[in-house]
Amino acid sequence: MSIFSIGIDLGGTNLRIASFTSNWERRGAITTPTRVQDGPGAVLDDMCAAVEKLVAQCGGRGDLVGVGLGSPGPLELPSGRLVQPPNLPGFEDLELKTELENRLQVPVIVECDANAAALAECHAGAGKTFGYHSLCMLTLGTGVGSGIILNGRVWHGFIGMGGEAGHVPVYHDGLLCGCGSRGCLEQYASATAIARAGSRLVTIPDAASSGKLALTARTIAEAALAGDAESRQIYEGVGEALGIGLASLVSTLNLPLYIIGGGVVAAWELFAPTMFAELDRGSYIYRLTKPVRTTVPEAGKTNVLPAELGPDSGLLGAAMLPFFQSLSS
């Protein structure tokens, strides 16, 4: 057997644990509901039981490099303390790293889930495919997560809150965000924001008569693709907000690659045209460095691409953490 690590993806709904080799090949995986209502102790126990099972499958602890955990934010890093996770009530101030290390007696590295996903895209996704070591990834899901990778490593900022681009203000005095500020990107480009916009505006064909079709980012995308004008408009709004947010990131970071991931990216063709138009309008650096075609990355240019890895990028990124820690220490 060869060396391996264990990644844990702590979600508000599901807890996913998997083992990976140093080539990022998956060996084994366990998925179980996150028992949020049973409290942190129960969830930690579930994590540890799954880790032990996967370690045994891989031949024991001798070849285990470490355990990496991707968690919803905000987190304090590298201490690995959950601050006020909106989707994990009762988990406030949980010392994820310490609690897991005490239970498992192996090194555990905790990372924000969006950072873990960005790390995976860098080393096993679009970054690897096109040869970029620095990138910023926006994950459009329930919220808008983001992660910044500089020279192959996560940029944490001074207390682990670097790369919270979902809370970059895109419209001054815009919609109220769960974070308490107004006009955050998250309020315009998350699946939640799309569904909310839909509930106000959209008339999906057949939905009124059947009364059953749930308004989600996906059903609104389907309506848009079927030609519904208001649904199309909602996604154009997503693109505009993303373009403004990207203009801000491009002017600040000047990275060669920006990646859009998360469930909403399935609707790329619906939001990408306005996203690129707004980015072109909003950033002179982008205008100076845009590739000839937006679909083909170019060396020395500012490339914006959809994520290559699917929803498992956070899990893979979590498993990468012990390898990189091990390399740098």
User: Is there binding between residue 158 and a copy of itself (CB under 8 A)?
Assistant: yes
Residue closer to a copy of itself by CB (options 22, 294) is 294
Gap between the Cα atoms of 53 and 232, Å rounded: 47
Q: Which two tokens stand for residue 278?
A: 């707004």
User: Is there binding between residue 51 and a copy of itself (CB under 8 A)?
Assistant: no
Give the amino acid at 206: D
The least distance separating a copy of itself from the CB of residue 256, rounded to whole angstroms, comes to 4
User: Is there binding between residue 292 and a copy of itself (CB under 8 A)?
Assistant: no
Q: Which two tokens stand for residue 14?
A: 């599901």
The least distance separating a copy of itself from the CB of residue 305, rounded to whole angstroms, comes to 15
Span interacting with a copy of itself, options 32-40, 120-128, 171-179, 309-317, rule CB under 8 A: 171-179
User: Is there binding between residue 49 and a copy of itself (CB under 8 A)?
Assistant: no
Residue closer to a copy of itself by CB (options 102, 129) is 129
User: Is there binding between residue 287 and a copy of itself (CB under 8 A)?
Assistant: yes
Coil, helix or strand for 110? strand
- Binding-residue total with a copy of itself (CB under 8 A): 48
Span interacting with a copy of itself, options 86-94, 204-212, 224-232, 282-290, rule CB under 8 A: 282-290
- The answer to whether the beta carbons of residues 75 and 160 sit under 8 Å apart is yes
The least distance separating a copy of itself from the CB of residue 148, rounded to whole angstroms, comes to 7
Gap between the Cα atoms of 38 and 216, Å rounded: 28
The least distance separating a copy of itself from the CB of residue 232, rounded to whole angstroms, comes to 21
What's the order of all strands across the beta sheet hosting 303-306? 153-154, 144-150, 135-140, 257-261, 303-306
User: Is there binding between residue 134 and a copy of itself (CB under 8 A)?
Assistant: yes
Spell out the long-range contacts of 33-42 with Cβ–Cβ below 8 A and sequence spacing 24 or more.
34/10, 34/88, 36/12, 36/88, 36/89, 36/90, 36/91, 39/90, 40/90, 40/91, 40/94, 40/99
User: Is there binding between residue 169 and a copy of itself (CB under 8 A)?
Assistant: yes
Residue closer to a copy of itself by CB (options 203, 251) is 251
- The answer to whether the beta carbons of residues 88 and 39 sit under 8 Å apart is no
Between residue 75 and residue 104, which ones bind a copy of itself under the rule CB under 8 A?
Answer: 83
What is the H or E stretch that residue 201 is in?
helix 191-201
User: Is there binding between residue 74 and a copy of itself (CB under 8 A)?
Assistant: yes
Binding pattern for the stretch 207-246 against a copy of itself, x by CB under 8 A and - elsewhere: -------------------------------------x--
The binder of a copy of itself chosen from 22, 289, 325, 326 (CB under 8 A)? 289
User: Is there binding between residue 251 and a copy of itself (CB under 8 A)?
Assistant: yes
Report the candidate in 84, 115, 247 with the shortest Cα–Cα distance to residue 180: 84
User: Is there binding between residue 277 and a copy of itself (CB under 8 A)?
Assistant: no
CB-based burial label for 13 (10 Å; 0-12, 13-18, 19+): exposed
Q: Which two tokens stand for residue 57?
A: 């499958």
Report cis status (omega within 30 of 0) of the bond before 169. no
The binding site for a copy of itself (CB under 8 A) comprises 74, 83, 134, 148, 150, 155-172, 177, 179-183, 244, 247-249, 251-256, 281-285, 287-289, 300
